[in-house]
Amino acid sequence: MASSDTHLGWDPKTLNHPDRPSGFGCLWRHTITDNGGWSSHPCNHMSNGYKVSLRERSALYNKDHQKIARRMRLVGENFGMSGKAMKRIWKRFPVSENSERKLTLSDFLQQARQSLKWLSRGPEGWHIGAKHLNPVPNHPLKKGNRPQFQPRQNDVQGGYGAFYPYEHNYHHLIPVGAVEEWVIGKGASGSPSRSELVVKLILISRWNIHNEKNMMLLPQQEFEAFIVGLPAHCPWGIPSHSAYQSSLKDRLRQLRSKLDRAIREKKHPKDLKADILADLNSLSETLLEQVKTMGAGVKLTAADV
C-alpha cells in the first residue's frame, strides 16, 4: 500500500491511521510522534487552533482583561480576590449543587489565583502570543520565553502547556465523538461496511477534523471564561460537553443520510468532494459564531444548528 493511501486505513482499537496523511483527510483522535514536523502536522489540532487564534481571532483573546476584572469587582488593585468577590463567584457558579462534580470553593479558586498572577503582569498578561513577561512559569522551558497559549510538545519544542496563562483547551467545534457517533456509526443494516464507505468518502474529500476552521481556543474554567467573555470548555469535574455535542445530532445525521444516498447511487468520490467540504466547513463556521455568543463563564451549552 502506498504511503499516501495508508491514511484511509485505521486501527479500530486505537482509532489511529497508520501514517502521516498525504492527500487525505482525518477523522481520528490520535497521538502525533513526528517530532520534526510536529507543529505543522495537519492532524495537530492544538497547533492548528493556536495558529488560527493568533492570526485571525486575536481580538477575542487580547482584550484588557485587567480592566474587565476590576470592573466586575472580581479583583482589587493588587489582583487579589476579596472575600466578597469569592462569595459572588461561588453564587454565580454553584458547582457544589452540580451532580456532575463535588468541589469546594477552595478547589474552584485554586486555578483562578494562579491565572490572576499572570494577569497582574500587565495589559498583555493573558494575551495570545505574548512572551517575555515577568514572571514566567517555573518550568523546564523557562529560558525559552515561549509565547502564551502555544501548545507544548516536549521540553525542547512547543510552549509551556495548557495551564498558562490560564487553563485552556483547543476545542473541536465539530467534536470527534459526534462524528464517530452520528456520521460514522453503523450502516442501516447493522453492518459496518456502509460506515467504512462513508469514512472513505470523507477522507477522500480531504476534510480533516483537526483543521483550523474546526478549532477554537476556549478557557477551561468558569472564572477565567467569565472575564474573557467566552464559555468554559469542560470545567473541573465535568468530563464532557454533552449538551453541546448532542445538539449536533440532527445536522450530522443529515450528512450521513446524504452520503448513504450517494453510496446507493454509486456516485464517484470526486463528485462528492465539494459538497462534503462545504457542508462540514459551513457547520464549523456556524458553530464558531454561536460559541462566541454563548454565555460568558458558563460551560458550553447546546448549539442551534
pLDDT profile of the chain (305 residues), mean per 10: 48 58 79 74 92 97 95 83 74 56 66 86 94 81 77 78 92 95 70 79 92 96 92 82 94 94 90 95 98 91 92
Q: How far apart are CA 237 and CA 264, in angstroms?
A: 44
What does the block give as the cell for 132?
517575555
What does the block give as the cell for 13?
482499537
- Using alpha carbons only, give the angle 118, 122, 126 rounded to the nearest 5 degrees: 50
pLDDT of residue 2: 37
pTM recorded for the entire structure: 0.88
pLDDT of residue 96: 44
Number of H helices, E strands in the chain: 11, 2
Q: Where are the domains of the chain?
A: 3-293
Q: At what angle do helices 83-92 and 105-119 cross, to 10 degrees?
A: 120
pLDDT of residue 19: 61
Burial 287-304 (b: 16+ CB within 10 A, else e): bbebbeebebbbbbeebe
Name the DSSP class of 299. Answer: B
H helix or E strand, kind and range, residue 171: strand 168-172
Whether residue 217 contacts residue 128, with contact meaning beta carbons closer than 8 Å, is answered with yes
> 3-state SS of the chain: helix, strand, coil percent to 5?
45, 5, 50
Q: Is 229 helix (H, G, I), strand (E, B) or coil?
A: coil
